[in-house]
């Protein structure tokens, strides 16, 4: 069974085929952010004492090393 393609579909395919293309060797990870709970036992930190402490973290990806 053959199907006919409309002129619009052929024009769209032709437009895509001449568009510039790029290739990525790796996916760019998104920045990581959140928090980390630290549980302090015993005497704890001076001025804070024992307990649970909330530490915000934020990591941003850097450029990868150059290939060798």
Termini Cα distance of the chain: 52
Identify whether the C-beta of residue 52 lies closer than 8 Å to the C-beta of residue 37.
yes
Residue 68 resides in a domain: no
Q: Is residue 46 part of a domain?
A: yes
The answer to whether residue 65 sits within a structural domain is no
Residue at 64 is within a domain: no
State the pLDDT at residue 51: 81
3-state DSSP helix/strand/coil % of the chain, to nearest 5: 15, 35, 45
Q: What is the pLDDT of residue 52?
A: 78
29 belongs to a structural domain = yes
Q: What total number of domains does the chain contain?
A: 1
The structure's pTM equals 0.33
Domain span at 1? 1-59
So what's the pLDDT on residue 4?
Answer: 57
Report pLDDT digits (tens) over 1-58: 445 545 555 555 555 555 565 655 666 667 778 888 878 777 777 777 778 778 888 8
């Amino acid at each position: 069974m053959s199907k006919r393609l409309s002129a619009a579909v052929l024009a769209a395919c032709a437009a895509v085929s001449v568009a510039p293309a790029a290739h990525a060797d790796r996916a760019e990870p998104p920045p990581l952010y959140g928090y980390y709970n630290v549980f302090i036992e015993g005497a704890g930190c001076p001025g804070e004492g024992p307990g649970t402490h909330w530490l915000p973290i934020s990591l941003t990806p850097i450029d990868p090393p150059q290939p060798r």
